[in-house]
Chains A and B, each alone.
Chain A
Amino acid sequence: MANNVSIADEGKKQFIVVKIGGEQYGIDISYVDNIVRMQSITRVPKVQPYFKGIINLRGEIVPVMSIRTKMDLEPDEITDVTRIIILKLEEHGVLGILVDEVKEVVTLGPDEIDKVSYDAKSNKNNFINGVGKNGEELISLFDTNSIIDETEAV
């Protein structure tokens, strides 16, 4: 409880740290509805290539996206630790993202986040809006909205 109060006080944010490829990425926890184990994904033909398909999440149909395909990385390898992060955005509904592994939850203050200064046109980095420092490790922070906006625009 005390922890939460301090977060609010200092403008800190919590991120779920996930592994995709060799890198660590952070997802703003306020967008995360749920994290579920890998389950059978029903392929939907004739849609964007980065959509793996849809899953049944407690009776709801949730589309699942491969962030790897979207970022032009090598195809997903499904392992025991593969998870689907269910994101929820008020107007857009829910969306699942495949990640290789879920590591931990970190709390980052504004001074621990650096803005990225890459060329914004570079496709891969379009989805990153900052780099967080967690001790010695660097975490690329996803811009959740751009993942979704990009999807819609296609």
Chain B
Amino acid sequence: MDVSQYLEIFIDETNGHLQILSDCIMTLEKEPENMDVINEIFRAAHSLKGMAGTMGFKRMQRLTHDMENVFQEVRSGNMVVTSGLVDVLFQCLDAIEAYLDNVKESSDEGTDDNEAIIQELNEILADGTGNAKEEQKKPEPVEQKRESGEEKYPRKYLEIEFSEKAKEELKEAEKKGMHIYGITVFIQEDCLLKAARAFLVFKAVEDFGNIIVYNPSSQDIEDEKFGVDFSFYMVSNEDIHKILEVSQAVSEIEKVIGEKTTFGELTAAVEKREAAEAKAAAAKAEETKASEKTVAAKPQAAPAQTTQAAPAQTKKSTPGKPVTNRTVRVDIEKLDALMNQVSELIIAKNSLVSIGSNSDSGTGGANSQAFHEQIEYLERITTGLHESVMKVRMVPIESVVQKFPRMIRDLSKKLDKKMELHMTGEDTELDRTVVDQIGDPLQHLLRNSADHGLENAEIRKKRGKPETGTIHLNAFQEGNNVIIEVSDDGNGIDTENVKGKAIERGLITPEQAAALSQKEIIDFLFMPSFSMAKKISDISGRGVGLDVVKSNIEALGGDVEVKSILGEGSKFIVRLPLTLAIIQALMVEVRGEKYAISLGSIETIEEIQPKEIKYVQAKEVIHIRGMVIPLVRLDQLLDCEPDDKERESLTVIIVRKGDKFAGLIVDELDGQQEIVIKSLGKYINNSTKIISGATVLGDGEVALILDVNTLF
């Protein structure tokens, strides 16, 4: 048998456990007395150890084992959690993560023993408890549990029936001097992959010997046709405790019980059971009484216990069964394929719509009425289908941001600044592909805030700010975009300083610098290799930060904006498109050319008189409902032929980005449509980014998609 098929589960679960550990340790640092957290940590560490062990990752197992020891001491109150301990624990987590990365790449944990960390752990353990021989501590609690668990976990292995062949095998093995063990394994009721767990148990025990009989049959176990427990008899030269320990170490295994027996006892038991069954048929009531008496007695009283165990099993397996899998793992490529097909369907639907509207003028009547109704129906279905597929692809950004508190903590130590991270909107959902790629840019921004933004405690005190700096990470949805804001209450961006730097580097002349707006100055920060840090640290300052952030985010179809007030802090606003493939858009015409504008960014549409256009700083604006909105003539922006006719009224589309507005003057409106975004390809050098893509319309014509975010 091969464990590689469980590797993915292992990686996933280890990730999960690591996250739990990380979160819990963070909490623990704040509330060192919180027993719930300590228990949670202990449980996660224990599972990690077990999983690493079964998969044969010995180094990982050793490290987690030592971690578990420490938690054990903490749990039993022999040790207090100190900041030093937390540091070491985080190092352990990093080391485990490194192992896991190795496993991901090569299916092997690597060769780093992390002796230093283990040493440190053990030292802390020795200091904390005054007991250097911590190693022996571990098995005890397991032992205790085993005894106390006896009643709850009936020895079901006693019920196994033996075929002639199995009997022969057992007899043979015993002759060779091997021990026969009966073992029953109980899996946690909420376990999702019982068959996999069973497999891991078998895999673990088969290192020590051979399994002779299974109950239920091995096929049934593989097919998950069992409740929460299964039993088997095996032969081995090894001590039973060892076997019990390795099988217990498999995660989500609730309990493993077992004992040594002999062939003679077994056959006797089987005979007795047969006899008992016959008796039971005759005198049920009596038998029950008798069995209850014998339960507490010797293991040889097997037959009696059988009857008692049987009802227990039915009771247990009934609630066990409905625990069905509520989630399905799907390869992202399959989802992409599904998405593509939905896109094609929408294009096909759009052409039907356009055929429908063209045939309007011709043959009328009931036929066309029915046709329209059907098309509307089809439209509803495709829109719904699209939404469902989108939702399937959406994941909360939580998976990305959850590692940030830990990062900020590390940074805080490294930079010797006090800081706190507050996050909101972790449940905001984004397309899976976006979420996968947003981690690095956000990390950059946070580091940036921590390193450049926040001042050290002394300066903060002088400025009358609280000593502890605060960084906020807020995520929320706004129309068709998701906004993620990273803000700090630090120094803000010193634009004079940036200007100086830009002049120094010969990017601009001092005269030019004087005329730049704050936004233009801040934009320098996003230029490649433009670093403001006075000294280069390993956190930031190499100048490969913000430009990478910007290009990464733009590659996802989003953008970054900065707001900063010197002395009060700065805010980086990352705007990402909710979907990558299909959007609702307003179709407009400019000199006969068709353009699509995402409905998400459109506020209102206004008809205005040319005379309403006013000028502010020689730029056209309109004054609507108390707002002064700059106008953009799309024909000029898009290098169209000049307009030949004098228009009496102008159609203005008011678009919005954050709290800024702009009015786009277009020739005509063509209505709303669901469009499929297609890339322009790599050849076209679309440096201005005004055109974010193209789409195929119902009649086969191509329309360009305007990214209005670039107009601001």
Asked if B701 and A56 sit within 8 Å, CB to CB, the answer is yes
| Complex alpha-carbon distance, A75 and B703, angstroms | 24
Is the CB of B690 closer than 8 A to any CB of chain A? yes
Task: Return the contact of B683 from the options A43, A56, A60, A65 (Cβ within 8 A).
Answer: A65
Chain B residues, Cβ within 8 Å of A154: 685
Is the CB of B292 closer than 8 A to any CB of chain A? no
Is the CB of B694 closer than 8 A to any CB of chain A? yes
Is the CB of A145 closer than 8 A to any CB of chain B? no
With A93-B681, A148-B683 in contact, do A56 and B700 touch (Cβ < 8 Å)?
yes
Chain A residues, Cβ within 8 Å of B679: 61
Chain A residues, Cβ within 8 Å of B704: 42, 44-45
Asked if B702 and A47 sit within 8 Å, CB to CB, the answer is no
Asked if A61 and B690 sit within 8 Å, CB to CB, the answer is no
Asked if A95 and B639 sit within 8 Å, CB to CB, the answer is no
| Complex alpha-carbon distance, A148 and B682, angstroms | 10
Chain A residues, Cβ within 8 Å of B678: 60-61
Tell me the minimal C-beta distance from B316 to chain A in angstroms. 56
With A51-B684, A95-B681, A148-B683 in contact, do A45 and B701 touch (Cβ < 8 Å)?
no
Q: Which of B593, B640, B684, B685 has the most CB of A within 10 A?
A: B684
Task: Return the contact of B684 from the options A40, A44, A148 (Cβ within 8 A).
Answer: A44
| Complex alpha-carbon distance, A151 and B691, angstroms | 18
- Interface Cβ pair total, 8 Å cutoff: 76
Is the CB of A20 closer than 8 A to any CB of chain B? no
Chain B residues, Cβ within 8 Å of A42: 593, 694, 701-704
Asked if A44 and B686 sit within 8 Å, CB to CB, the answer is yes
Is the CB of B638 closer than 8 A to any CB of chain A? yes
Contact-residue size bin, chain B (C-beta under 8 Å from the other chain): 20 to 34
| Complex alpha-carbon distance, A56 and B637, angstroms | 24
With A40-B701, A42-B593, A47-B686 in contact, do A56 and B696 touch (Cβ < 8 Å)?
yes
Is the CB of A131 closer than 8 A to any CB of chain B? no
Asked if A54 and B638 sit within 8 Å, CB to CB, the answer is no
Asked if A45 and B691 sit within 8 Å, CB to CB, the answer is yes
Task: Return the contact of A61 from the options B344, B638, B686, B696 (Cβ within 8 A).
Answer: B696
Is the CB of B574 closer than 8 A to any CB of chain A? no
Is the CB of B680 closer than 8 A to any CB of chain A? yes
Is the CB of B89 closer than 8 A to any CB of chain A? no
Chain B residues, Cβ within 8 Å of A92: 682-683
Nearest B residue to A94 by beta-carbon distance?
B681
| Complex alpha-carbon distance, A60 and B347, angstroms | 12
Tell me the minimal C-beta distance from B339 to chain A in angstroms. 15
Is the CB of B688 closer than 8 A to any CB of chain A? yes
Asked if B694 and A54 sit within 8 Å, CB to CB, the answer is yes
Task: Return the contact of A55 from the options B344, B593, B690, B702 (Cβ within 8 A).
Answer: B702
Closest 6 CB pairs of A and B: A42-B702, A45-B638, A61-B678, A46-B688, A61-B694, A56-B702
Please report A residues at the B interface, Cβ cutoff 8 Å. Answer: 40, 42-48, 51, 54-56, 59-63, 65, 92-95, 148, 151-152, 154
A-B contact pairs, 22 of them (CB 8 A): A42-B702, A42-B704, A44-B694, A44-B704, A45-B639, A45-B704, A46-B690, A47-B684, A48-B684, A51-B683, A54-B681, A54-B694, A61-B681, A61-B694, A62-B681, A63-B680, A63-B681, A92-B682, A92-B683, A93-B682, A151-B683, A152-B682
Please report B residues at the A interface, Cβ cutoff 8 Å. Answer: 344, 347, 593, 637-640, 678-688, 690-691, 694, 696, 700-704
Instruction: Beyond the given A63-B684, A93-B681, please list 17 additional residue pairs across the A-B interface where CB-CB is below 8 A.
Output: A42-B593, A42-B702, A44-B686, A44-B691, A45-B640, A45-B690, A46-B638, A46-B639, A54-B694, A59-B696, A60-B678, A61-B680, A61-B681, A63-B683, A92-B682, A95-B681, A152-B682
